[in-house]
Amino acid sequence: MYRELAKLIIYRDMSGNSILSKLGAIFEDFHNGKDAPEHLKTRIFIEVRRLLEVATQYGFDKNLWHNYLTYLLITDENPFSFTCEKATRRDGTVNRFALNDFEVFKKLFDFDFSEIESSLDINCFTVLSDYNAIPKREQMYNKNVSEKVQALSEKIEKAKTPQEVFDAVVSFYHDYGVGMFGLNKAFRLSYDNDKMYLAPINNMHKVSLDDLIGYDRQKDALIANTKAFVEGRAANNVLLYGDSGTGKSTSIKAIVNRFYEDGLRMIEIYKHQFKDLSAVISQIKNRNYRFIIYMDDLSFEDYEIEYKYLKAIIEGGVETKPDNVLIYATSNRRHLIKESFNDKNDIQTQQDVHRSETVEEKLSLVNRFGLTIGYFKPTKLEFEAIVLELARRHKEITLPDAEIIAMAQAWQMRNGGISCRTAQQFVDNILGQTNS
């Protein structure tokens, strides 16, 4: 194994502290007789445990060794994989180096562990190659990653030549990309010792725009803008504003799900993180994806000044916002910033020469969003239609329509009033009682 790893060219940097590199060093010591058998077994078991931890995190199954090698291939960000991500296949000399590395990986896939297992009286590698994972709830692992890894792993298993491995991996890079951006739909900002990094959001809600009943005009406007964006045409930053519980956040999550395979990704950011917006953009501006920077429930109080930084990022800063980035925000406030009665009085004070100038400055933020879409509470009849449509999607609910409507009206009066969210909560309550 260690001799094969030494032949890697493009994917050489993936070694480091990886399980693969550690096993390579163990096998080298085994063949050279540099370590005692019992200590070799201990070192192997440590790496097997690490492999099991990765398998649990991503829900790997069947051949964990193959799954792990595939995971390395599709997460390694190098000049070759960057060139291939979300792009058509191109001929070049680098492909010859890639073929060399894929030949190495195919040999690693087919590696015979029997010698070391027999010598050390262990069978862990045999077990890993035919693993039966305990079924887990989707919330416990990243199903999106698991499915992609296992599908590509099976293709590499069946490959007869390095060229077939090359074709399978390059096709994956073209369809999904490489690294965390290739495997995941959405990310949030996280920090490690004050150092910011993008962390994947596992198991993003699989909501679709059809799940939001009504609001067709709003959804059509959002689809058209996003479609233009992912196709490389001119598109606008978007503000979804209006009443709470009307589906603003749901619409954005659904639009990401809809255009994920077209290269759309989402980065969720909060108001207190605006200072890191420039750093985020610097990480994503040269990648071959389209990014929505998502700001949920965006609003500012009188004393908050973060909106000034947001204005500069959207438009007016020294560095131009890259073409592959748009900002989508939701808010219950049409103008994002709380306005006081004094803002409407054009009188001179010591604090502000003209209050109208303050209003104008605040309104200039919302003007940075080229597309504003209003979401408002449904009427009584619309609410009833939403409730019935949601209820009909569940065969377990067999109550007459009139009874469902009467129950829903009583529910909304006790639980926040008429809204799409209230309708969904009501139907969830009926389902809970039906299935109990």
Q: What residues pair up with 337 in beta bridges, in sequence order?
A: 300
Q: What residues pair up with 324 in beta bridges, in sequence order?
A: none
Exposed, middle or buried: residue 403 (CB in 10 Å: 0-12, 13-18, 19+)? exposed
* Distance in angstroms (rounded) separating the CA atoms of residues 329 and 331: 7
Question: Residue 433 in contact with residue 396, Cβ under 8 Å?
Answer: no
Mean pLDDT of 57-80: 91
The whole-number pLDDT of residue 312 equals 72
Lowest mean pLDDT among 62-66, 323-327, 431-435: 431-435
The whole-number pLDDT of residue 354 equals 46
What angle, 0 to 180 degrees and rounded to 10, lies between the N-to-C axes of helices 306-314 and 355-366?
50
Lowest mean pLDDT among 163-167, 177-181, 263-267, 387-391: 177-181
The whole-number pLDDT of residue 137 equals 64
The whole-number pLDDT of residue 305 equals 67
Residue 258 scores a pLDDT above 80:
yes
| Domain spans in the chain, listed from the N-terminal domain onward | 2-180, 200-375, 380-434
The CATH code of domain 200-375 reads 3.40.50.300
* Higher-confidence position of 357 and 292: 292
The whole-number pLDDT of residue 269 equals 93
Mean pLDDT of 66-74: 94
* Distance in angstroms (rounded) separating the CA atoms of residues 103 and 170: 14
Q: How confident is the model at residue 289 (pLDDT cuts 50, 70, 90)?
A: very high
Question: Residue 184 in contact with residue 149, Cβ under 8 Å?
Answer: no
Mean pLDDT of 29-46: 94
Question: Residue 276 in contact with residue 187, Cβ under 8 Å?
Answer: no
Q: What residues pair up with 375 in beta bridges, in sequence order?
A: 242
Tokens of 34: 């540099």
**Which pTM value belongs to this model?**
0.82
Residue 138 scores a pLDDT above 70:
no
* Distance in angstroms (rounded) separating the CA atoms of residues 302 and 339: 7
Residue 140 scores a pLDDT above 60:
no
The whole-number pLDDT of residue 310 equals 76
The whole-number pLDDT of residue 341 equals 46
Lowest mean pLDDT among 142-151, 277-286, 297-306: 297-306
Cβ within 8 Å of residue 85, ≥6 positions away = 173, 174, 177, 178, 181, 182, 287, 288, 289
The whole-number pLDDT of residue 124 equals 94
* Distance in angstroms (rounded) separating the CA atoms of residues 16 and 21: 7
Residue 367 scores a pLDDT above 70:
yes
Residue 141 scores a pLDDT above 60:
no
The whole-number pLDDT of residue 83 equals 87
Residue 343 scores a pLDDT above 60:
no
Average pLDDT, the chain: 86
Mean pLDDT of 429-434: 87
Comparing C-alpha atoms, which of 177, 40, 48, 182 is closest to residue 124?
48
Residue 277 scores a pLDDT above 90:
no
The whole-number pLDDT of residue 357 equals 61
* Distance in angstroms (rounded) separating the CA atoms of residues 63 and 72: 15
Residue 254 scores a pLDDT above 50:
yes
The whole-number pLDDT of residue 316 equals 54
The whole-number pLDDT of residue 432 equals 87
Mean pLDDT of 25-30: 93
Comparing C-alpha atoms, which of 253, 267, 377, 286 is closest to residue 326?
267
The whole-number pLDDT of residue 352 equals 53
The whole-number pLDDT of residue 240 equals 94
Residue 46 scores a pLDDT above 60:
yes
Percentage of residues of the chain with pLDDT beyond 70? 88
Residue 170 scores a pLDDT above 90:
yes
Mean pLDDT of 180-185: 88
Q: What is 67-136 written as a DSSP string?
A: HHHHHHHHH---HHHHHHTTS-----THHHHHHHHHHHHHHHHT---HHHHHHHT--HHHHHTTB-PPP-
Residue 356 scores a pLDDT above 70:
no
Mean pLDDT of 215-232: 96
